[in-house]
Amino acid sequence: MPDTYDVAVVGAGPAGLAAAVESAAAGLGVVLIDAAGQPGGQYWRHYDENHARPDDRRGHHGWSTFTRLRERLDALTATGRIRYLPGHQVWLVTRDENGAFTLQLTPTTSTRVDGAEEAGLSRAETARALILCPGGYDRQLPIPGWDLPGVMAAGGAQALLKGHRTLAGRRAVVAGTGPFLLPVATGLARAGASLAAVVEANGTLGWLRDPVGAMSVPGKGVEALQYAALMARHRIPYRRGTVIREILGEGRVEAVRIARVDRVDGRLAGPEEEIAADLVALGWGFTPSLELPLMLGAETRRDVDGSLVVVVDDLQRSSVDGVYVAGEATGVGGAALAVAEGRLSAVALGVALRRTPESSRRAVVAVIGRLSREIRRGRRFAAAMHRAYPVPVAWTRWLSDSTLVCRCEEVSYGDLVRAHRDLGAEDPRTLKMLARPGMGWCQGRVCGFATAEISACLSRRETTAEDLRPLSTRSLAVPVTLGELAALADDLPGN
């Protein structure tokens, strides 16, 4: 059996990095597990450090926060106070009778590594507590033509740029909703792409719907102005109250057809227009990755932005004893908030495990107070953003019978309508069983949100957390070879 750590931190993005270094600083034994090859997560994704260039920080916000966390991680790893396992994914978490968690790991690379132990790969780790910081990924809505080559998630186009300095197209349209479209568009423009348009479903007046929330994080206003300036400098057309109606092309993207939408509910309202493009980057906010919290039975709720998120208390504790959750999984709110949540969870865990010396109690109480206030401000700002950039209520009306909802299993909107109308599929789970959305390779990661919303809409009711859970829950957090599964049987006691 491997050593039992005080805490396993899963994810080395903003929340996980902060949680890991703060846990180690509090005197806890830490194992930090991350899918990527180098720390930073999606937010601070950067070029392979073995080939770094001084301009890698361009386009990054809070890069100094990252480098500080990074230096502390390196120092704590060097002194053995953090065991850092990059390139590992957790595929199963189980709990023994003493409450310790065992995390089964698989290497991220698809290539098989012989002699896993020698190569520095771990098959399993155990820990007394967990801080889960799984982050999130772009939320997608189905659009006719979104399965054409040249259509990407906005975050995917950005990841290619940040991680590989690769431009996914020459003439791009960035579409969906939310402030994240701006850094994607300006990043592509700076890298040399021609930006045909940013197509934003909501109006920017949305900021005014909750001015108090929007003002609660002052730095964000400056950020917005910087993007506005960059948009102007690159002469990027910004189309508000507009959506992509259809993506056109023979064999790959050639153009998009856009249309105005009603400001109130997002119903299609206006004349259509075609714009030539060879890259379409789509983002409708973010979907938190909830595989691990749901596997452990953590309570979840539907957040302001419609995403399923983990319920945490004011110390980042989930409903499951010993499981803390930080970052986007508790509610999409960006990197600064994630760092604060990661730190708070670590400090709180240090207190819970009684590792805080008597002499520093007072200082810890002050830190908790400060972080809590920062998190409350961050949450208010995030909620204001979510209200300003909602997924339009009437989005399912944009779908036609033949629009693919699940690309893996090629399930169309019409298939879902028929399963509902003719076969009595009244909820997303039954819909999935009868029409197969979410049954393919991605296991509902891409189409889960859309399927839940369509199911609720067909039953003429609001989407609930109940609707979102079946397509967010995954029995295996990531696919794993049967060979790795078979090895598990040898490792475990029993008959």
Binding site for another protein (CB under 8 A): 92, 94, 104, 112, 295, 409, 419, 422-427, 429-430, 433-434, 436, 439-441, 443, 474-476, 479-483, 485-492, 494-495
What tokens were used for 171? 């003439």
Taking the least distance from each CB to another protein, the nearer of 124 and 394 is 124
| Cβ 92 to another protein shortest distance, Å | 6
Taking the least distance from each CB to another protein, the nearer of 112 and 370 is 112
| Cβ 129 to another protein shortest distance, Å | 19
| Cβ 424 to another protein shortest distance, Å | 6
Handedness of CA 214, 334, 449, 171 (dihedral sign): positive
> How far, in Å, CA of 468 to CA of 79, rounded?
43
| Cβ 81 to another protein shortest distance, Å | 29
Name the 3-class secondary structure at 433.
helix
Taking the least distance from each CB to another protein, the nearer of 103 and 281 is 103
Distances (CA, A) of 50 to 47, 275, 281: 8, 40, 29
| Cβ 94 to another protein shortest distance, Å | 6
Taking the least distance from each CB to another protein, the nearer of 218 and 483 is 483
Taking the least distance from each CB to another protein, the nearer of 201 and 292 is 292
Burial class (CB in 10 A: 0-12, 13-18, 19+), 218: exposed
| Length in residues, the chain | 495
Taking the least distance from each CB to another protein, the nearer of 315 and 478 is 478
Taking the least distance from each CB to another protein, the nearer of 109 and 481 is 481
Taking the least distance from each CB to another protein, the nearer of 96 and 314 is 96
Taking the least distance from each CB to another protein, the nearer of 94 and 204 is 94
| Cβ 491 to another protein shortest distance, Å | 8
| Cβ 34 to another protein shortest distance, Å | 21
| Cβ 362 to another protein shortest distance, Å | 42
- Amino acid sitting at position 329: A
What tokens were used for 234? 């690159």
First-to-final CA distance of the chain: 18
Sequence-separated contacts (24+) of 431-434 with Cβ below 8 Å: 431/455, 432/470, 432/471
| Cβ 439 to another protein shortest distance, Å | 7
Name the 3-class secondary structure at 204.
helix
Residue closest to 474 by CA, chosen among 436, 448, 450: 448
Q: How far is CA 148 from the centre of its chain?
A: 23
Instruction: Report whether 392 contacts 265 (CB < 8 A).
Output: yes
> How far, in Å, CA of 281 to CA of 377, rounded?
30
Burial class (CB in 10 A: 0-12, 13-18, 19+), 102: buried
Taking the least distance from each CB to another protein, the nearer of 248 and 411 is 411
| Cβ 54 to another protein shortest distance, Å | 40
Distances (CA, A) of 435 to 405, 417, 423, 430, 451: 11, 10, 10, 8, 11
Residue closest to 141 by CA, chosen among 463, 458, 447, 397: 447
Strand (E) or helix (H) holding 72? helix 63-78
Instruction: Report whether 88 contacts 108 (CB < 8 A).
Output: yes
